[in-house]
Chain A
Amino acid sequence: MLRLREMFLIIRAMRLSVCLRFLPSLCLASLTAYAQGRGGAPQPPATPQAAAPIDITGYWVSLVTEDWRYRMATPPKGDFLGVPLNQAGRDAANAWDPAKEEAAGEQCKAYGIGGIMRMPTRLHITWQDNSALKVETDAGTQTRILGFTPSQRPGGDWQGVSVASWDRQATVMGSGRGGPPPGGSLKVVTSKMKPGFLRKNGVPYSADAVVTEYFDRFDQPNGESLLMVITEVNDPTYLTTPFWTSTNFKKQNDAAGWNPTPCSAK
């Protein structure tokens, strides 16, 4: 019989590639079983709701502590400091005309997927069903559907098509202590949206943009909870590099302060 330490040393010396070379199907089956937890009968796949590593439902309020001037007020035309616009982006921003937007019924351009989370707003997040989250905002009365299953929606609206997944920290492979780590983030990738504004003063994003978001929840020792939404906007039309922001919300106990207001271009 091999002693425990000898087994340990042998396993440490092995790499996964060794395993796969010799016993691909057995290794895969074993690792899958391991990832699903040891022992017991096979479980049916959990729904996205049941598998949620964090709970982001409820009412949340924006904490406008960054980019205050760009978010609380409408900045002047041409003020796009911090946004990595290319020349086409600068030209578009410099051509911003809010009156024209309103006349064209395009007053929600700053409330689209590229700008809505930066608005001073409250969020109401609920499960629409067990495979889609719904995010409603009182600013601009927008609704986002974050679906965990492939969407048949064509998109083309302000919020586009969002595909959600739970983003967990990678499980240790090899000789480390295994098991899925606790916690995780909600990852949302959005595309197929109508072009809109990153900031209210006409800083543009195009219909070709892809917006990747991570929703992280932090429960503080004082009992308060924060929701941090990390946003990366990739737009080959108007940006030279990805545009990154992280936006913070504080958990509310109820709907206090919920104040639906229509979009405004000014």
Chain B
Amino acid sequence: MFDNKSMVLSTLLMAGVSVLGQAPRSSTPAEESAPGFDLSGFWSPAMHEDALERGGGSEIGDYAGFALNEAGRLWALSYDPSRVTLKHHQCDAYVAPYQMRATGNFRIWEERDPHDQRLVAIHVWAQVTEGHRVIWMDGRPHPPAWAPHTFRGFSTGKFVGNALVVNTTHMKQGWLRRNGTPESDQATLLEYFVRHGDHLTNATIITDPVFLTEPEVRSNDYFRQVVDHHAWLYACDDGEQILDRPPDKVPHYLFGQQPFATEFAKLYKLPLISGVGGAESIYPEFMAKLKTATDAEGLSRFKPVPGLPSETSRAVDPEPHDGQIHVFPIRNNVYMLVGDGANIVVQVGDQGALVVDTGTGALADKTIAAISKLSGKPVQFIANTGFRADHTGGNVKVRRSGMDPSLQGSFFSNQFADAGQGATIMSHQNTQNHMDALKMPAEGIPSDTYLEEHRRKFHNGDSIELFWEPNAVTDGDSIVHFRRADVIVTGDIFTTTQYPFIDLKNGGSVQGEIKALNDILNRTVYEHEEDGGTLVVPGHGYLSNEHEVLEYRDMVVIVRDRVQAMINSGATLDQVKGARLTADYDTRYGSSSGSWTTDMFVEAVYKSLQQSSAARLGK
């Protein structure tokens, strides 16, 4: 028989279950998802699949099972593993999907709000490269297109059915496979985590418009460990390994000259097409092709297909194009303003704003309004990284916003008659010369110029240096370094959107461009495994760090070497253009229209090299 106590408990239990079962749903996205499950614990990868790739590393030329397009295939074939001897590549981390596939153990834990116990994030720590992924579960949006990329990217998750579904964007360029198979910075990742007892499986679906023709689907298995693996650290410090190597040397192979291209096929007695089959190689029909493929079919894929038109960039346009100025905090008191052509940087403080570049000027009023929200004081200084109109178009209006009627002039009022009339515009002398020559509005032309290698200024508590790059994009480029904030503003020497604009007529050169990129790399320091640290604002594109500059530098050096090799063999400009020497980079940076096309870039490199060759010969 039931006693009274039991009856009360029973009643309460049933009532409680019913009430709780009917609890209203929260409106937050995280709460709308399925109930979820616990991934916490120590996990070891089962290396039963692709053991060679994930262990010692695959052979060069083994890109089988990857839907690489021509650009991806050629990028991989150009790769020389010696590239990791370069100082800045030594601590390259793994991008998220490759990290999940790497050898080494994992630790997963939950981050919960201490007050309401909602799941805020799931953290994944990978032993190799100290890879720390944060999967945000609180419904926050992904960052804008101009936000920085990291190796692990920005991940948000949601429980759907019996899976944790994770979306990742904002990854850096990295590996699909460690033998040079590339994944671009435009790749996105969709993942499904499922757990069956102590067996966790992670399906990864990589979409990469730059290097893949269709999404790459793979999956990884892990088994749970009941004790801590320990050894979670993976310290990496870089250092030059080859002391007399010139700074503009990047190990790579010219198209068609990869000495190990056939190694994979020969080692395993497979047709040459095996490793370079692209999307075809993923499907069952490829088995039949393997029986009939000729060596010629394989060899034809080891270099660019002749006669094809250049591909164009498939990268996301990082410009908002919405007629608004978007403010993105960089670090300390430094901000990036996006929306009016070239990126604008604003440093604020007690001394009034210092602005680097002013955009096209089409949105100058909105730029000024945005600056006013950050700084209540008149703009004090403008620094121009170059003379082009997309960087200086807002000079006149932004300068005027520096007007300060309360200022009673200067002791040197005869020399500086405009004291208090507006901000002071700084640049290298050659930039002023170019703007004078173009008859740009006098009020927007720099008045405070420098001729020496660099100019320095202490402003708003930061040491600011302007470095002259004598012949990169033009002969008057400046790089601006906020030393305390550790932010470098590069102007068009570095962009994430296009091949470098090398303006030969105004003093630019490919060698100067490479030197300038190396000068940036000589000033940067990464925070952890090539992520973070010194932040780099490109002339156009998303906020970067040294890794993006590094990949860009590599690209310019590699294209230069290819053009130089053809010049050395006596090729004409038309022959060089027809050789598609940028075929592995065109889907990322290429353009067939607008003010700076792939053809124009190749021509600039060609002529630049011819000029330097002529100069060496004293012609």
Residues in chain A within 8 A of chain B (CB atoms): 2, 4, 7-8, 10-11, 14, 18-19, 22-23, 26-27, 30, 34, 38, 53-54, 61-69, 72-73, 75-76, 81-84, 120-122, 138-139, 167-169, 172, 175-179, 181-185, 187, 214, 216, 218, 220-221, 226, 228, 230, 232, 243-248, 250, 257, 259
Q: Name the residue on A nearest B66 (C-beta).
A: A65
Contact check, A67 vs B49: say whether CB atoms are below 8 A apart.
yes
Shortest Cβ distance from residue B96 to the other chain A in the assembled complex, whole angstroms: 17
Contact check, A10 vs B284: say whether CB atoms are below 8 A apart.
no
Contact check, A23 vs B282: say whether CB atoms are below 8 A apart.
no
Among candidates B190, B196, B269, B290, residue contacting A167 with C-beta atoms closer than 8 Å: B196
Interface 0/1 of B1-23, CB less than 8 Å to A: 01001100110111111111101
Q: Name the residue on A nearest B50 (C-beta).
A: A66
A26 to B6, CA, bound (A): 10
Contacts of B49 in A (CB 8 A): 66-67, 82, 245-246
Contacts of B285 in A (CB 8 A): 257, 259
Among candidates A63, A168, A179, A214, residue contacting B282 with C-beta atoms closer than 8 Å: A63
A63 to B287, CA, bound (A): 13
Contacts of B194 in A (CB 8 A): 185, 214, 216, 228, 230
Interface 0/1 of B268-307, CB less than 8 Å to A: 1110001000000111111100100000000000000000
Known contacts A68-B281, A75-B268; can you find 18 more A-B pairs with CB under 8 A? A14-B12, A19-B10, A23-B2, A38-B18, A65-B282, A69-B270, A72-B65, A76-B268, A138-B284, A183-B163, A184-B162, A214-B194, A228-B203, A230-B196, A244-B46, A244-B221, A248-B203, A257-B285
A121 to B162, CA, bound (A): 26
Contact check, B18 vs A72: say whether CB atoms are below 8 A apart.
no
Interface 0/1 of B41-56, CB less than 8 Å to A: 0000011111110000
Q: Name the residue on A nearest B3 (C-beta).
A: A22
A81 to B54, CA, bound (A): 11
Q: Name the residue on B nearest A180 (C-beta).
A: B35
Q: Name the residue on A nearest B10 (C-beta).
A: A23
A–B Cβ pairs within 8 angstroms, 22 of them? A23-B2, A30-B13, A53-B161, A63-B217, A64-B281, A65-B217, A68-B65, A68-B281, A69-B64, A69-B268, A69-B270, A73-B270, A121-B284, A138-B284, A179-B21, A182-B34, A182-B161, A183-B161, A228-B194, A230-B194, A248-B203, A257-B283
Contacts of B287 in A (CB 8 A): 72-73, 120
Contacts of B15 in A (CB 8 A): 7
Contact check, A232 vs B16: say whether CB atoms are below 8 A apart.
no
A248 to B14, CA, bound (A): 44
The 3 closest A-B pairs by CB, nearest first: A183-B161, A82-B51, A11-B16
Asked if A172 meets B283 with Cβ closer than 8 Å, knowing A218-B163, A244-B221, the reply is: no
Of the candidates B2, B49, B196, the one having the most CB atoms from chain A within 10 angstroms of its own CB is B49
Contact check, A243 vs B48: say whether CB atoms are below 8 A apart.
yes
Instruction: Check: B138 CB closer than 8 A to any chain A CB.
Output: no
A30 to B17, CA, bound (A): 10
Instruction: Check: B37 CB closer than 8 A to any chain A CB.
Output: yes
Contact check, A226 vs B203: say whether CB atoms are below 8 A apart.
yes
Interface 0/1 of B313-352, CB less than 8 Å to A: 0000000000000000000000000000000000000000
Q: Name the residue on A nearest B9 (C-beta).
A: A22
A38 to B19, CA, bound (A): 12
Shortest Cβ distance from residue B293 to the other chain A in the assembled complex, whole angstroms: 12
Contacts of A177 in B (CB 8 A): 20-21, 23, 35
A250 to B279, CA, bound (A): 13
Contact check, B10 vs A139: say whether CB atoms are below 8 A apart.
no
Shortest Cβ distance from residue A23 to the other chain B in the assembled complex, whole angstroms: 5
Contacts of A169 in B (CB 8 A): 34-35, 37, 162
Asked if A7 meets B16 with Cβ closer than 8 Å, knowing A72-B290, A226-B203, the reply is: yes
Among candidates B162, B218, B223, residue contacting A185 with C-beta atoms closer than 8 Å: B162
Contact check, A244 vs B48: say whether CB atoms are below 8 A apart.
yes
Q: Name the residue on A nearest B291 (C-beta).
A: A73
Among candidates A64, A67, A84, A185, residue contacting B284 with C-beta atoms closer than 8 Å: A64
Contact check, A246 vs B163: say whether CB atoms are below 8 A apart.
no
Instruction: Check: B199 CB closer than 8 A to any chain A CB.
Output: yes
Q: Name the residue on B nearest A83 (C-beta).
A: B48
A185 to B101, CA, bound (A): 23
Instruction: Check: B460 CB closer than 8 A to any chain A CB.
Output: no
Instruction: Check: B521 CB closer than 8 A to any chain A CB.
Output: no
A168 to B269, CA, bound (A): 45
Contacts of B196 in A (CB 8 A): 167, 185, 187, 214, 230
A246 to B47, CA, bound (A): 11
Contact check, A257 vs B12: say whether CB atoms are below 8 A apart.
no
Among candidates A26, A63, A72, residue contacting B10 with C-beta atoms closer than 8 Å: A26
Contacts of A67 in B (CB 8 A): 49-50
Contacts of A220 in B (CB 8 A): 190, 205
Contacts of A243 in B (CB 8 A): 48
Contact check, B48 vs A84: say whether CB atoms are below 8 A apart.
yes
Instruction: Check: B511 CB closer than 8 A to any chain A CB.
Output: no
Contacts of A184 in B (CB 8 A): 161-162
Interface 0/1 of B199-215, CB less than 8 Å to A: 10101010000000000
- Which B residues between 103 and 128 are near A, CB-CB below 8 angstroms? none
A187 to B17, CA, bound (A): 30
A169 to B164, CA, bound (A): 12
Contacts of A10 in B (CB 8 A): 12, 16
A226 to B215, CA, bound (A): 12
Contact check, A139 vs B284: say whether CB atoms are below 8 A apart.
yes
Among candidates A22, A122, A168, A218, residue contacting B5 with C-beta atoms closer than 8 Å: A22
Shortest Cβ distance from residue B173 to the other chain A in the assembled complex, whole angstroms: 20
Instruction: Check: B84 CB closer than 8 A to any chain A CB.
Output: no
A183 to B37, CA, bound (A): 13
Contacts of A63 in B (CB 8 A): 217, 282-283
Q: Name the residue on A nearest B219 (C-beta).
A: A246
